[in-house]
Homo-oligomer: A and B are copies of this chain.
Amino acid sequence: MTVPKSIATIGVAIMATWYSGRDPIVASCALSIAAGLSTYFLVPTLAPLFTQAGLRGKDVHRASQPIVPESLGLVAATVYIVSLFLFIPFVFYDWIAPSLDPFVSARNAHSFPHVKLGEFLSALLSLQSMTLLGFADDLFDIRWRSKLPLPLIASIPLLMVYYVSGGITWIAVPYPFRSLLGSSIDLGPLYYLYMSLVSVFCTNSINILAGVNGVEAAQSLIIALSLLINDLLYIGGPDYPASQVHLLSFYLLLPFVGVTLGLLWHNWCSVSLLVGDTYCYFAGMTFAVAGILGHFSKTLLLLFIPQIFNFVLSFPQIAHVVPCPRHRMPRLNGKTQLLEASTASLEDLSSLGKVILLFLERLGLVRLEKASSGSLTTTTNLTLLNLLLVRLGPMREDRLVQWIMAIQGLGSVLAFIIRYRLVSLFYDVIS
C-alpha cells in the first residue's frame, strides 16, 4: 500500500525541515522531494482506479493501441496542492512561533505579511480552479466556448491580490515609440485584462503542444527549470522587493518540478498512462501564477516561444481555413514502429487555404501531396510535432520528445538573451 508510504515521505520531509531550523527554503526543498516521491509512488497505485472510473484512452502510438488510464495529472496536481498547503505554515513560522506568548503574538500579528499570505492563497485558489476545470474537461469534454471564460474567472483572486500588493499597471514604452507615447504609459484596467489573458494563454498553450506520450510533462519541466534559473538570478540579490517576489515564484515552482519528475518517470514514452488536460491546465496555470505574482509575465511569455510558434503554425487549421481533422497528433507506422507526420485531406480547400499552404511549403513547414491535375490532395498537419517529423524524418516517440525538450531549451536560451541582452536596445530600464 503506497498511500502510507507517501504520507510517511511527506512526514519525513516535515520532520527534517523542523529539525533543520524551519527555514522556508529548506522546507520547500524537502517538501518538493517528498512531493516528487509521493507522485512517483501514487501514480501507479491510483492508475487502476482511473481506468475503473472510465478515465481511460487509447495509446495510439503503440501497435496494439492499448487502453491506458487518463488524467493522471490529477494525482500530480493534488500532491502539489497538498504540499503547498503543508508549506504555508513554514513561510509564516516566525509569526506563528511566539503565539504562546500573547504580547509577542500581538506585536507580530500587527506586522504580519498579509499580502504574502494573500498571494499564496490566491495562487492556490487559481491553481485549484484550473485543476478542477481540467479534470472536468477530461471527464465531460467541455465545449470550447464554455471553457474559455473560466480561466478569466479563475484569475480574479490573483488579480485582486496583485492589485492589493501595489499593483503596478504602467509599462515602459520601447524607444522607437517614445516620441508618440512618452517614456511610460499606465495601462490601468487593461493591464489586468492582459494578466487574465496570460492565464488563458498559458493554460491553453501546453494543451496545444500535446499528443505524444511525455511531451506535456517534458516541455513543462524545461519551462519550470528555466523559470527557476531566472528566479535564482534575483533571490538574495540587492533588489529586496525583486528578491521577495522571485522567492515566492521559487516556492511555487520547486514542488511543481518535483511532481512533474514523479509523473514523467511513468509517462516517459510509456504505455502506462496519459496525463490528460488536467495536467496541461495545472501546469499552465502554475506558470501563469508564478509569472503574475513574480512580476515577470513578459519574461514568461518569452519562454513560450515554441508554444507560440506552434500556435501560429496551427492557426490556419484552428480557424478552419485549412481542413482540420479531429486529431492532428503524429501517427505510428505499424511496419517501422516509427512516428510519422499525420496528414489532412484537402478535398474542400478554399483558395485562401491553398495560398497559405503553398506559402508554408515554400518555407519548408509542411509537406503537400498533389494530384496529377495539380490540385492539392493532402497536407501534413500544422503542428510543431509534425513539422519535426517532416524535417527530420520518421523517428521513435522518445526521440521526438527529446527534440521538443531541446527546442524548449533553446527557446529558453533565446528568451534569456532577449530578456537580458537585447532588452537594452528597446528599454533603458533593466530590472
Taking a contact as CB atoms closer than 8 A, the residue among B82, B109, B114, B146 that contacts A153 in the complex is: B82
In the complex, whether A301 has a CB less than 8 A from a CB of chain B is no
A49 contacts B140, CB within 8 Å?
A: yes
- CA–CA, A74 to B153, complex, Å? 17
Among the 9-residue stretches A155-163, A196-204, A393-401, the one with 4 or more Cβ atoms under 8 Å from chain B is: A155-163
B88 contacts A188, CB within 8 Å?
A: no
A157 contacts B99, CB within 8 Å?
A: no
In the complex, whether A122 has a CB less than 8 A from a CB of chain B is yes
Among the 9-residue stretches A123-131, A317-325, A409-417, the one with 4 or more Cβ atoms under 8 Å from chain B is: A123-131
**B-chain residues with CB within 8 Å of residue A160 when the two chains form the complex:** 88-89, 92, 117
Residues of A78-106 at the interface with B, using a CB-CB cut-off of 8 Å, are 78, 81-82, 85-86, 88-89, 92, 95-96, 99-100, 102
Residues of A153-175 at the interface with B, using a CB-CB cut-off of 8 Å, are 153-154, 156-157, 160-161, 163-164, 166-167
A154 contacts B109, CB within 8 Å?
A: no
User: Chain A 356-398 against B: per-residue CB contact (8 Å), 1 yes, 0 no?
Assistant: 0000000000000000000000000000000000000000000
**B-chain residues with CB within 8 Å of residue A82 when the two chains form the complex:** 153
In the complex, whether A67 has a CB less than 8 A from a CB of chain B is no
A156 contacts B86, CB within 8 Å?
A: yes
- CA–CA, A50 to B53, complex, Å? 12
Q: How many copies does the complex hold?
A: 2
Residues of A43-82 at the interface with B, using a CB-CB cut-off of 8 Å, are 46, 49-50, 52-55, 74, 78, 81-82
A99 contacts B156, CB within 8 Å?
A: no
In the complex, whether A132 has a CB less than 8 A from a CB of chain B is yes
A124 contacts B81, CB within 8 Å?
A: no
**B-chain residues with CB within 8 Å of residue A167 when the two chains form the complex:** 99, 109
- CA–CA, A188 to B95, complex, Å? 15
Which of A112, A118, A167 counts the most chain B CB atoms within 10 A? A118
Given contacts A53-B139, A53-B140, contact A96 B163 (CB under 8 A): yes
- CA–CA, A102 to B188, complex, Å? 10
In the complex, whether A15 has a CB less than 8 A from a CB of chain B is no
In the complex, whether A121 has a CB less than 8 A from a CB of chain B is yes
In angstroms, how far is the closest chain B Cβ from the Cβ of A195?
Answer: 14
Taking a contact as CB atoms closer than 8 A, the residue among B7, B85, B161 that contacts A117 in the complex is: B161
In the complex, whether A149 has a CB less than 8 A from a CB of chain B is yes
A88 contacts B156, CB within 8 Å?
A: yes
Which of A88, A95, A121, A132 counts the most chain B CB atoms within 10 A? A121
**B-chain residues with CB within 8 Å of residue A102 when the two chains form the complex:** 186
In the complex, whether A423 has a CB less than 8 A from a CB of chain B is no
- CA–CA, A49 to B74, complex, Å? 20
Which of A78, A114, A186 counts the most chain B CB atoms within 10 A? A114
Taking a contact as CB atoms closer than 8 A, the residue among B54, B149, B186 that contacts A7 in the complex is: B149
**B-chain residues with CB within 8 Å of residue A8 when the two chains form the complex:** none
In the complex, whether A312 has a CB less than 8 A from a CB of chain B is no
Taking a contact as CB atoms closer than 8 A, the residue among B3, B53, B124, B154 that contacts A157 in the complex is: B124
